[in-house]
Amino acid sequence: HGPYQPHEPGYGLDQPGYNPYEDEIPDPQARMLAIKNAKAYLLKTSTKSGLNLYDHFANILTKILDEQPTNTVDIIENISKDVKWAQFRKKMDTLRDEHLIPPTFEAAEKCKALFMKEGGEEEHDELEEEMGQPSLPNVMETAFYFEQAGIGLSKDESYYIFLALKNLINVQPIQTCRFWGKILGLEMNYIIAEVQLREGEEEEETGEEGDETAAEGQKEMGEAEEDEQKEKAPEPPKSTYKPPPEVPKESNGTGTNKYVYFVCNEPGKPWVKLPPVTPAQIVCARQIKKFFTGRLDAPVVSFPPFPGNEANYLRAQIARISAGTHVSPTGFYQFPEDEEEEEGADTYEENPEFEPPPVAEMVESLATWAHHVKGILKQGRCVWINPAQKSEENDEEDEEEEEEEDEEQQEERGPPLLTLISEDEGMKNIPAWTAQASTNLIPEYSVAILQSNRWPGAYAFASGRKFENIYFGWGHKYSPENHIPALPPPAEAEFPSEPGITETVDPTVEEEMAFKAAQEEALAEAEEGEDEEGEDD
């Protein structure tokens, strides 16, 4: 017998330990041993992490079979990593869960509170009937029209704002109310409502002013006492600097302060009333450009230093935006018949005979829109006032000096109310307004949309008799050039140069010697003169 071929029975018999039937009945002992070795190897715990490969594989397979992700083979490594991480996560899970719950639920509670107020309305209804119905703006309708133009907030947010405005009306005595818009900030945003209060509310303001004058009176008393003490010691030269007379702010209900504004950070949070704006704040706001942080009490650090905090800056920007971009279809408002012809016209009323021009016309020509808010003059007010008139309170001497300055300040005239916006200047070659129709596909129902280029974010729409203005943006004016901060004013001259104060060069040694010699000569001459006189006697 030679070497057996594999297909012959008996192949391999000559090798020790070889079982002819191995391919049919594997030797349980050897195989079991191999399996046990392999399993023992897999169970060997790693020295680093205390895990072992066997358990790890079991966990991975369990997870895969449970979750059955798509394309498992591509992400197998990540699954493996996650299973390993899961070993360590268990202890920290409970802590994390508790931490994560609050923010979402707090917000949901606040929103729920908005909805809850509907239950308390029944009591208010009776009161409202006595005092007259305040007009709640239909925010959802406005949002619908603006949505045609692609502008606006999500429906959820609009509805929350709607409810928050309703809340505001229930709390404050309000005559008319309007959703003005939303200004974005760094940390939080502002939602702003434009409101006209009923007349009783304005008395609170005068109370505050009375307090201020009382404080000033006390300050003057204190200064008078100090002056008396100072007069004993030689006083430093008095400064000839007189600060420019302060332009008084416009009273509530007129001009820039025609409306009162309430803000809140999110619907559901309490509404805060913004203080009325002073002309100095508007003048300063024109010169600076700052982002809003979202907190009303944040200081506004800028040059020139802004008189006030973020609430004042916000109010000033709102006033500028309203004055610059609140428009309505021409003819919707008209002057009442018995008004004077000066520019002091402040009131307007709805024109009952207004016929809205078709949408196509409103888009094509800007002459169909008109401002219905007065523009702000350079002085910072809507109606120019001569600051010298206030000098009646000061001494008579000051009056005389200020009259001379009056000649330099000319009376400012702003554009009269109800000017057409086609007269707005553009910047360089950009017109001040861009008009579009909301859709070209269905002209019967399209809405005329107006975008402002001077204040990016200000929009207005008109459709038939309905029109509305709104603002969504950061709250800054558009300028083609970069913003240049104001240069600091030149340093004041310290004191007038008088001979008593001016420094002169110290005399040099030669000059001193010459002076001394001259003095001695003069003395000698005087002595000789006396001697001579003495001799004469």
Partner 1 sequence: LAASLPLVQRDYRFERVWFWGCIQGVRGAYYIAEGLGPDRAAPRSRLYSLNCLDWSLLTPATKEMLALAEQVKGRFQGDPSFEYSLAEIDSETAARLVQSGKEPVIKEEARLIATIEQIDRAVGIVPRGAFVKTPLGSVHENRHFEGLSLVEAKKLSSYFHFTEPVNLKNKTLLEKADLDPATDFLDSLEHDIPRGSWSIQLEKGATVVVLRSLLWLGLTFYHVPMTKQFGYVYFGTGEKNLDLPFML
Contacts with partner 1, residue ranges (CB under 8 A): 69-71, 74-75, 78-79, 82, 96, 99-100, 103-108, 111, 156-157, 184-189, 288-291, 428-431, 434, 451, 453, 456, 474, 476, 478, 480-483, 485
Complex with partner 1: residue 106 or 141, whichever CB lies closer: 106
Taking alpha carbons only, the member of 383, 367, 386 closest to residue 375 is 383
**Are the beta carbons of 266 and 289 closer than 8 angstroms?**
no
Smallest gap from Cβ 309 to partner 1, in A, equals 17
List beta partners, residue 370. 328, 420
Smallest gap from Cβ 268 to partner 1, in A, equals 9
Complex with partner 1: residue 371 or 476, whichever CB lies closer: 476
DSSP state of 398: H
Smallest gap from Cβ 84 to partner 1, in A, equals 14
Complex with partner 1: residue 419 or 453, whichever CB lies closer: 453
At residue 174, what are phi and psi to the nearest 5 degrees?
A: -120, 140
Complex with partner 1: residue 93 or 406, whichever CB lies closer: 93
Smallest gap from Cβ 270 to partner 1, in A, equals 17
Contacts of 194 (CB under 8 A, 6+ apart): 177, 178, 179, 180, 259, 260, 261, 322
Complex with partner 1: residue 154 or 394, whichever CB lies closer: 154
Q: Radius of gyration (Cα) for the chain, nearest Å? A: 43
DSSP line for 288-314: ------S-TT-B---SSPPSSBHHHHH
Say whether 33 sits in a helix, a strand or coil. helix
Complex with partner 1: residue 71 or 508, whichever CB lies closer: 71
Complex with partner 1: residue 72 or 218, whichever CB lies closer: 72
Complex with partner 1: residue 354 or 474, whichever CB lies closer: 474
The torsion of the CA quartet 114, 120, 123, 129, rounded to 10 degrees, works out to 20
Smallest gap from Cβ 72 to partner 1, in A, equals 10
Q: How far apart are CA 463 and CA 297, in angstroms?
A: 40
Taking alpha carbons only, the member of 259, 248, 127, 90 closest to residue 180 is 259
Smallest gap from Cβ 63 to partner 1, in A, equals 12
Smallest gap from Cβ 435 to partner 1, in A, equals 10
Task: Give the Å distances, CA to CA, from 515 to 253, 510, 521, 523, 524.
Answer: 77, 8, 10, 12, 14
Complex with partner 1: residue 96 or 465, whichever CB lies closer: 96
Q: How far apart are CA 328 and CA 469, in angstroms?
A: 8
Q: Name the helix (H) or strand (E) containing 514.
A: helix 509-536
Contacts of 177 (CB under 8 A, 6+ apart): 134, 135, 136, 137, 165, 168, 169, 193, 194, 195, 196
Smallest gap from Cβ 74 to partner 1, in A, equals 7
Smallest gap from Cβ 168 to partner 1, in A, equals 21
DSSP line for 354-366: --PPPHHHHHH-G
